[in-house]
Structure 1
C-alpha cells in the first residue's frame, strides 16, 4: 500500500533517505525525480521566468523552493564552503526519519508479507483482510523515554486503544491480540504503577477484548531498578515482563496449545511407558487425586505453562543491530527475542494465517511469522527501523526492497 506524495514530501524523503544526511542539488534533483517518477525531460525542461524571461527549469525551481522551506523549518542547513550542498540538522534527522501521519510507503516485501513505513493507524484504518493475530511490543511509559519515544502513563490506554482499534475491527472470530509490556514505577517512588491493570480494564470496556492470560516472560535482564533495589534496598530486582493475551471471542479462540507442546521429561516418559501411576494419593483436601493408571496415555508432549523462560540475548537481534549499524542506521533499542515471537505465533495461528504488528520496530514479528510460514504485515513510522529491519529478510523468498537510500543495498 503506497500513497502518492506531493513534491514537498518527496523533497523531505530525499533528505531522509540519504545515508550521510548530505545532498548536493544535482543529487537532490535526481532523487526527487526517482521517488516521484518524474521523467528526465520534465525535470530539465526550461521555460521563461520573470520579467527577464530567462530560461529555467520550473521543476528544479520548485524543488529548491521546498528546499528553502526545509531550511526555514530548521531541518536542513547549508554546508560551509560547498555551493549547492545542504545537510540535515540534528533536529532534522529526528524529524524526517518519522513519516507524516497521512502517508504510507511500502518499505519491503516477501512472498509472505509486507513492511510499511507509516503510522499504523493510517494503514490499518483502511485494512479489509481478516487478521488472526496482532502481536506487538509497544513502547513502555517510561519516565525517560527511549529514542523511539513513547506515551505517558496517563495517555497509555488511549495510545494502545488508538493503535489496535482498527485491527480489532478486522480480527476473525476468536482472533487474538498479544501485547508485550513491562512494569514501571511511580515517579520518585518505589511503588509500581497500575497502568497495566488499567489497560486491561480499558481494553475490555472499550475494545471488547477479553483477557485470556498473563504470560510471564522470565528473561535474563540486567538488575534493576537500581535506585530502589541496589541503592535504597527497598525493592527486589525485576526478572520478568508481561505478555498479555486478549481474545475478541473466547468461546471461539483459535489458539491451540498442541502446536507448542514441550518434550516430556525422561521421568514422565518412563512413567507413561510403565502404564502410569501404580499408587493412590490425595492432595489439597481432595482437590487433587492420583489413581492407578494416571498418566498412562501416550501424549505428544507437555502442555506449555504460562511462565516462559527465554533469554533476551537474541542472536537474530544482534545480527540485526550490526547490519543496521553498518548502514549508518539507528537500530531499535528494545528487542523482543525472535523465539518469543515465534512461540506466540505458532500457538495462536496456523500456517498461512495473517499476523500483524502495528508498532513493528525491528520487524521481529514479521520475521517470526515468515519463519513459521504465516502471512504478515508490519508498520512503523520510523524510517531507520523499517529499512534496518529489511536486512533480516534478504534471503527470504520474494524479497523486494522498495524503500532505500544511495549506497544502502547489500549485494
Structure 2
C-alpha cells in the first residue's frame, strides 16, 4: 500500500474492542500471534509493526503500535478478562469466570475517558466529594433494592435509605443553592412474600429531608409504555395486583426559593385544539367551577405563547431504535458485559434541560450506561460520572466516541 493511501491508525476504543475480540476467538496467544491476528483482520497494518519512533527524553526508539496493544493487554488483565498462561512467557488466554465485574479499589479515582465537556471516572461515588466545581444537578438511577440482585448488586430495602444518604452526602458539598437532586427509583418493591408494596420510598424521602436538608419538589411519574408485564407473581399469576407501568423520580432541591428549574426550557408544542382556541380569540365563556376554584373568562387563552407547560407525568419508552441497537452490538462485539438497567435517554434529557441552564455541571453517582453523561454532553452541559465497575464504564465509552475531544485512555486499570 502506498504511503499516501495508508489507513488511519485505529482509535483506542476501536483497538480495545479488536484486541478483546481476538482473545475471544483463540484459546491461547503469544504477543506475536496477537499482532499477526490484528493485522490479518485489517485492524492494523502489518508494516506498522516494524516502525520505531523516538520516545521520551532519552529518545529511545519503540514501536508505538505494539505499545498500545500491550497497554490494552494490561487493561484486560486488570479487568479480569485475560490471564497469563502459567509457565509460558508472553502468552495470554481468556480468564475463566471472566463475566465477574471488577470493582474500583476503595479511595482510588482514575479517569476512564473524557470529552471536552465531561469526565467518566472509574471510582466509587464518594469520589465526587472532591469536586471543586459548583454542581447544578445530581441525576442518578441507583441500584433498586431487588429481592434478586443483578450482577452489580444492590442494597436491601432496609439498607436503601442509609445507602442513598451516604452516597449523596459527598456530592452535596458542591451542590449550588437552588440545585436539584433527581433519583429514578422503583415503585415495584414488595414486602417479602406478599403483594403489599414496600414503604421504602417514603422512608427514603423523609431521611433525605431530615438528614441531608433537601426539600422535596415533586414526585415525578415516568410512565414507560414498553415496560414488560409485571409484577409477574402478583399481577400475572395471583391476579391481586395491576400490571405496573411507571417509576417515580424523586426531585429535591437545596433551596426551593432559588431553584434553577425553568419549564420554558421544556415547553411542548400546543395541540391543534389549543391553536384553534387561540385563533378564535380564546374562551368565549364566563363560568366558575369547583366553588370558584377555577374560573373561565372571555378571552382566556387568547395570548400567543411559545408552547405548553408539560405535566408532571412523563411518558418515555425505554431506549430503542437504530442507535441503541448499534450501541448494544458494539458492546457485545467488544466482549464486555452490558449493564442490566437502562434509563431512557429522553427522560434524562428532559430532566437535564428542565433543571439546569446550558453550561451547568451535572453529576451522576451510578454511571451504568452513562445515560446522564451522554445527554448532558448533547445538550451542552458539563458532566462528571462515577461508575464502580470497570467493564461497564469501558463499554459505555462507545456512546461518546464521536463527542468532541473524546479520549479513552484506559489508564484507569493500570
Instruction: Give TM-score, length-normalised by structure 2.
Output: 0.78
Q: Distance in 2 between matches of 1:161 and 1:379?
A: 16
Change (3 A) 1:82 1:181: same
1:12-411 alignment runs, 5 A limit: 20=23, 79=85, 85=91, 90=96, 94=100, 97-121=102-126, 123-183=127-187, 184-219=189-224, 220-315=226-321, 316-403=323-410
Q: Which residue of 2 aligns with 1:64?
A: none
User: Corresponding residue for 1:58?
Assistant: none
- Matched with 2:36 is none
Unaligned runs of 5+ in 1: 1-16, 28-36, 42-66, 407-411
TM-score, normalised to structure 1's length?
Answer: 0.78
Mapped to 1, the partners of 2:177 and 2:408 lie a distance apart of 34
Secondary structure of 1:324 counterpart: helix
Structure 1 residues 285 and 359: CA distance shift in structure 2, 3 A: same
Q: Is the 8 A contact 2:20 2:335 kept in 1?
A: no
3-state secondary structure, aligned to 2:158: coil
Q: Distance in 2 between matches of 1:302 and 1:323?
A: 39
Distance in 2 (CA, whole Å) between partners of 1:377 and 1:127 is 9
Contact in 1 for aligned 2:195/2:241 (Cα 8 Å):
yes
Q: What secondary structure does 1:308 align onto?
A: strand
Q: Measure, in 2, the Cα distance between the counterparts of 1:156 and 1:233.
A: 28
- CA 1:322–1:245: 2 relative to 1, 3 Å: same
Q: Which residue of 1 aligns with 2:14?
A: none
Provide the secondary structure at the position in 2 that maps to 1:94: coil
Q: Which runs of 5+ in 2 are unaligned?
A: 1-18, 33-55, 61-76
Residue 317 of structure 1, CA deviation = 3.7
